[in-house]
């Protein structure tokens, strides 16, 4: 069973990489290593692929400590040394700034924006042309619903997204893997359980959306796959458009 689980994740990552043309020969890839199971799985699969694929790329892990007490930064550093991962560790106050008194209404937005900006800067500093993030299928679906519910728009994170006129490309190789598969993969590989010291990690709007979707998924095991496929199977003529009606269209 463990071999099947491992191959399921590895195969899905390979399919996503090929489908979206994420990685090419000579790429220097910065990997956002938060310490969560998603990012650990991403680093493990991308590292192991190097011995099997006919192209070469280099991996450079980045961990941003957010300034909370109980940070797993040192434990993550030890983990990377154990497996020979190249790690850039930087201490920040982004989490504390996000949860400051003047920003209590939306701490996640500011913290995420600061983290993304710094990841871009460090990827550039390392000479990387790609930044790999551990967002999975569930994250992509949840972002779709977050944006619909709280931003009034239909959008989500995409598996392969260029920035700065293509000088840096964000890739999400776990786009075709859902959370339960990653948790099984983590159990098979006995990943350490790094604690998340963020005070809103279990009470954010994303958690609310996740819980709502999980209740829906339990009613029909095809729903998650159908939602994910719907994001690339769009019928514009059957979506609302701003402005008056013209020729029978809104």
Q: Going residue by residue through the chain (250 aa), what tens digit of pLDDT does each one get?
A: 344 455 789 999 999 999 999 999 999 999 999 999 999 999 999 999 999 999 999 999 999 999 888 899 999 999 999 999 999 999 999 888 888 877 766 778 888 899 999 999 999 999 999 999 999 999 999 999 999 999 999 999 999 999 999 999 999 999 999 999 999 999 999 999 998 888 887 778 899 999 999 999 999 999 999 999 999 999 999 998 876 665 555 4
One CATH from 3.40.50.620, 3.30.1300.30, 3.40.50.10490, 3.40.50.1220 for 2-199? 3.40.50.620
Residue 98's pLDDT is 80
Tracing tokens 């159990």 back to the chain, one arrives at 187
Q: Which residues, in sequence order, are CB contacts of 235 under 8 Å at separation 6+? A: none
CB contact set of 188 (below 8 Å; sequence gap of 6+): 2, 5, 6
pLDDT for res 101: 75
- 250 CA to centre of own chain: 35
- CA separation, residue 53 to residues 14, 108, 133 (Å): 10, 37, 20
State the DSSP H helix or E strand holding residue 207, giving kind and residue range, or none if neither: helix 205-217
pLDDT for 200 equals 81
Domain ranges across the chain: 2-199
Predicted local confidence at residue 4, as pLDDT: 41
Backbone φ and ψ of 196, nearest 5°? -105, 110
Rounded to whole angstroms, how far apart are CA atoms 219 and 193? 30
Q: How far is CA 129 from the centre of its chain?
A: 17
Task: Quote the pLDDT of residue 250.
Answer: 47
Q: Tell me what pLDDT residue 70 has.
A: 87
């Amino acid at each position: 069973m463990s071999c099947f689980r491992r191959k399921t994740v590895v195969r899905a990552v390979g399919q996503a990489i090929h489908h979206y043309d994420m990685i090419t020969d000579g790429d220097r890839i910065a990997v956002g290593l938060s310490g969560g199971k998603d990012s650990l799985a991403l680093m493990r699969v991308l590292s192991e692929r190097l011995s099997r694929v006919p192209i070469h790329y280099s991996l450079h892990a980045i961990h941003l400590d957010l300034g909370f007490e109980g940070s797993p930064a040192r434990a993550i550093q030890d983990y990377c040394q154990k497996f020979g991962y190249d790690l850039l560790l930087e201490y920040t106050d982004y989490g504390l700034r996000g949860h400051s008194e003047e920003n209590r209404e939306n701490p996640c937005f500011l913290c995420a924006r600061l983290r993304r900006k710094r990841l871009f800067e460090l990827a550039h500093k390392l000479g990387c042309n790609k930044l790999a993030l551990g967002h999975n299928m569930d994250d992509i679906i949840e972002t779709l619903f977050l944006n619909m519910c709280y931003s009034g728009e239909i959008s989500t994170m995409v598996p392969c997204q260029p920035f700065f006129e293509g000088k840096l490309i964000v890739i999400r190789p776990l786009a075709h893997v859902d959370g339960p598969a990653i948790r099984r993969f983590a159990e098979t590989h006995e990943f350490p359980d790094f604690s998340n010291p963020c005070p809103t990690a279990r009470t954010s709007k994303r958690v609310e959306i996740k819980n709502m979707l999980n209740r829906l998924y339990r009613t029909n095991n095809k729903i998650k796959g159908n939602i994910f496929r719907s994001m690339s199977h769009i019928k514009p003529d059957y979506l609302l458009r701003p402005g008056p009606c013209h020729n029978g269209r809104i």
